[in-house]
Structure 1
Amino acid sequence: MERASLFFIQRSSPLEMNQKGSWTRMSSIKIAILGFGTVGQGVYKTIETHQKELESVLGKKVEVAAVLIKNKEKDRGIHPGVLVTDKFEEIIDLNQLDVVVEAIVGNEPAYTYLQRAIQRGCHVITANKEMFASYGTDLKELAAQHDVSIGFEATVAGGVPVIQTIQQLLNINRIKKIEGILNGTSNYILSEMRAKGESFSAALTAAQEKGYAEADPTNDVEGFDAFYKLMILSEIAFGGKPDWERVPREGITAITREQIEKAEKLGLRFKLIASIQLINGEIVGSVRPTLVSKSHPLYHIEGVENSVSIEADIVGRITLQGPGAGMLPTASAVIEDLIHAVLKTGVPGNSFRMQQQTPEDSQVKEKQNWLILNPDDLDHFPLSLSSSAELEGSCLIQADENTVHSLRQENRNASFFEVLGEFMLEERQLVKL
């Protein structure tokens, strides 16, 4: 009878041996997953397939207690013991709920759900970049008030641990600048256009067929996705965000095959670059198609890969690279946040750096190099362009953001692209404005 009884307890509740050498029931961590799309499914599957690893690290079994879905009638392959519901109230009222993982699209109801989870005392983890870019500051403050953690690694670059790197590995470094390829869809399209000579529309269709782009790709190709991620990075790197309306945001829809070919001849590649830095005490950011030279670490990032280059005062420049989206890479980021939350090794909810202005910041060059790919289309230019200032039908100018903005307004048919990395020209071939 004793053996039979012990066997029954082992099946119904995992056992662990305490310090006295006797068996006791192992406590478990109860998780709710809000949303069961690509990310939600990836988290669920990872918890199932890596249960032994989770128990080894956490000392507890991780159990998915509930899943919030839209259609309860659809079979999703979820174990019968898991509460599957379309009502958030049923989840927030569970007897035990330790962690809430949110993988919903859009600001609401995701923001409200996470507020209520935090108020209940749950750790929360989100993969929702639009919502967190808009309400992350409020959620961090609320989490701090309730002494819970908030994980958001999955909001920026999928499986690339850029958030943890900035928050935990660069505590003393003063970050000067962050540049990144934060949208795999756009990077794939630009890579295909260059490698195969395809048009934008053909490359976009290929991305949709492979599942890299949504049926409505606006967020990706118009730069919104990268913009939201950049705002999240700005706050953790500099302690604040620039005025959204003042951040230039351009997508890749206007990039032509001819422009890509011309840039390639010059040793440059088009990338959709998100950039943020501190200049003269002001946080300055941009999201736009940019020309990158071979000397820059983002030059070789191809396909759906994401990469973030961080420049700091002590370490110099470090570059992180990896899959920026997909079921398992994003689930990996969520699970790592889960471990930090349970072990209390994560950064406190309201933790972000308030970086002070330093003498080095005021010395940051406000002027950048810009390439005009079609100088013949210039209608108004403050200097006459002689043949000595042209380079294979292109012109390189050195100017600040405001000057280039004015030039663009006056020369609607001309194309201006910032150039990153070393791009050597003779002095007489550079027009300084």
Structure 2
Amino acid sequence: MSVIRVAILGFGTVGEGVYKTIQSHEQELTAILGKKVEVAAVLIRNQNKVRTIGEKVLVTTDFEEILRLPQLDVVMEAIVEQEPSFTYLKKAIARGCHIITANKEMFAHHGRELLEIAAQHNVSVGFEATVAGGIPIIQTLRQLFHVNQVQKIQGILNGTSNFILTEMREKKQSFASALKQAQENGFAEADPTNDIEGIDAFYKLMILSKMAFGQEPKWNEVELQGIAKITSEWIAFAEKLGLRFKHIATVSKNGNQVTGSVKPVLVAKDHPFYSIEGVQNAVNIVSDIVGSITLQGPGAGMFPTASAMLEDLIFVLKNKAETVLMSKRVEDAANSIQQSKGVWIVDGVYKKRTIHSIHWISELKNGCYLLKAAAEEIAELAEQNKGLISFPIYGDVERLNQKESKLAITL
């Protein structure tokens, strides 16, 4: 029987998970592909670290040594940061290898270029693992949305930030305590900046935008807010109103303009993200025909990410090369998301009557209001009230219990 020979770049949590899953699912892969999948090489950084890798596998710190193998079919990359990953994958493509990556930062910056180079060499690129771990969102957009015109995508794309917000609410912890718990559980790095400031989710959102719309927002115009300033008092206040904080990434298209944001918002009980807790991820897609659908599942970890990479292994071996992430959609003004007013909670308002187009629904406590306004009006209100805190509410706000609202006034 002929063999498919694979190299794994990086042997951290993800790389090791890919290696173990290839071993444990050897028969399933053979049945699907008609060939045995064999790990031919593993690229490591520390030669002295003890690892459980088969004796016949080339284990090296030199990528060029891997490229010199007599047969190499697929390179699966699980390193962090843009370099040397980008350089390695370009060389692998030139060698005639299909490539699979879990590196969202690198792919957000260089994904289109890699796809174009791959098409020139008649090989394929798999990148399911760059966005939401075990959730098959890339395959869903790639295979199931040929006729549907995607209008908006929202996602909880970072399990660390979601875990922290869940711990703060369920266990009445401070942000610092919840972050420490996340680090002790292995959900957060020693430097958690990329997770809690939304940078990780930002890269994933850019990849989703290119998949859905064939383009992305201007990077410097994406609203980017982390969760570090959300206090346990705010968590409790929201809970009194029947709301929960979630760190949500959103991208939508209005006419020719694609806009995006990554920020903490409040979700009502009817919103699909209301019950997404802990390290779980979720993605909601709104399109013109099917309407709204939501996928949820584990967003990170050894085996969820390995699962995504193995599904990509099957994809790249069974499909033709793609030239771009996705062709640009034909514009249809009727299907675009229109700018509209939303419901917000704002705190620190002392000059509220100067913007007459805002609908002031109720005062929840001194200086804190439930109101209906457009984002531009909230920005204008913030200019007039320095230090204003504002959170949009997603979901059916009309269902907010009036008794709970009155109770909140006394807080």
**Bin of the TM-score, shorter chain as denominator length:** over 0.9
Shift of 1:121: 1.0
- What's 1:420 paired with? 394
After superposition, the CA RMSD in angstroms is 2.0
Query: Is it true that 1:117 corresponds to 2:92 in the alignment?
Result: yes
CA distance in 2, matches of 1:388, 1:289: 21
Give the corresponding residue for 1:145. 120
Q: Distance in 2 between matches of 1:167 and 1:368?
A: 31
Counterpart in the other structure of 1:62: 37
SS in 1 for 2:110: helix
CA distance in 1: counterparts of 2:46 and 2:247, whole angstroms = 36
In structure 2, the CA distance between the partners of 1:425 and 1:40, relative to structure 1 (3 Å rule), is: closer
**Quick one: which amino acid aligns to residue 115 of structure 1?**
K
1:402 pairs with 2:402: no
Return the offset for 1:68.
0.6
- 1:286 is aligned to 261
Determine if the alignment matches structure 1 residue 295 to structure 2 residue 267.
Answer: no
Distance 2:321 2:93 in 1: 16
**Counterpart selection for 2:249 from 270, 274, 288:** 274
What displacement does 1:255 show? 0.3
The AA in structure 2 aligned to 1:382 is T
Does residue 1:371 correspond to 2:384, yes or no?
Answer: no
Q: CA contact under 8 A between 2:361 and 2:372: conserved in structure 1? A: no
Opposite residue 279 of structure 1, the aligned amino acid is N
Q: Residue type matched to 2:235 in 1?
A: I
Partner-residue secondary structure (3-state), 2:42: strand
Q: Unmatched 5+ residue regions in structure 1?
A: 1-25
Query: Distance between the aligned counterparts of 1:50 and 1:387, measured in 2?
Result: 58
Give the conservation status (yes or no) of the 8 Å contact 2:288–2:335: no
Spell out, residue by residue over 1:356-381, the C-alpha distance to the aligned partner (whole angstroms, 9 max, x if none): 22122456233332211x24x54576
Q: How does 1:350-389 map to 2 (within 5 A)?
A: 350-362=324-336, 364-372=338-346, 374-375=347-348, 377-378=349-350, 382-383=354-355, 389=362
Contact 1:149/1:349, CA 8 A, preserved across alignment: no
Contiguous gaps of at least 5 residues in structure 2: 406-411
Query: Could you say which residue in structure 2 is the equivalent of 1:6?
Result: none
How many pairs align? 399
Query: 2:223 aligns to what SS in structure 1?
Result: coil
**SS of the residue 1:424 aligns to:** helix
Structure 1 residue 326 displacement after superposition = 0.3
**Residue type of the partner of 1:149?**
S
Q: Name which of structure 1's ranges 302-311 and 402-411 shifts more when overlaid on structure 2.
A: 402-411
Query: In structure 1, how many angstroms separate the alpha carbons of the residues matched to 2:54 and 2:336?
Result: 58
Matches within 5 A, 1:189-338: 189-338=164-313
Q: 1:363 to 1:189 in 2, by over 3 A?
A: closer
Change (3 A) 1:93 1:378: farther
What is the rounded CA distance, in whole Å, between the counterparts of 1:296 and 1:397 in structure 2? 19
Question: 1:87-98 to 2 correspondence within 5 Å?
Answer: 87-98=62-73
Counterparts in 2 of 1:104-183, with a 5 A limit?
104-183=79-158
Instruction: Label 1:356 to 1:368 Cα distance change in 2 as closer, same or farther (>3 A).
Output: farther
Q: TM-score, normalised by structure 2?
A: 0.93
For 1:102, the equivalent position in structure 2 comes to 77
Deviation at 1:403, TM superposition (A): 2.9
Question: Which position in structure 1 is the counterpart of 2:364?
Answer: 391
Q: Is the 8 A contact 1:378 1:413 kept in 2?
A: no
CA deviations 1:221-257 (Å, max 9, x no partner) are 0000000000000000000011000000000000001
Q: Render the CA deviation track for 1:290-331: whole Å, top value 9, x for unaligned.
A: 111111101110000000000111111110000000000000
TM-score (norm: length of structure 1): 0.88
Letter in 1 for 2:394: L
Amino acid at match of 2:354: P
Tell me how far apart the structure 2 counterparts of residues 422 and 347 of structure 1 sit (CA, whole Å): 43
Please say which structure displays the higher CA radius of gyration: 1
Change (3 A) 1:356 1:378: farther
CA distance in 2, matches of 1:114, 1:370: 45
> Residues of 2 paired with 1:383 and 1:125: CA distance?
51
After TM superposition, give the deviation of residue 398 of structure 1 in Å: 2.8
* Structure 1 position 355, deviation (Å): 1.4
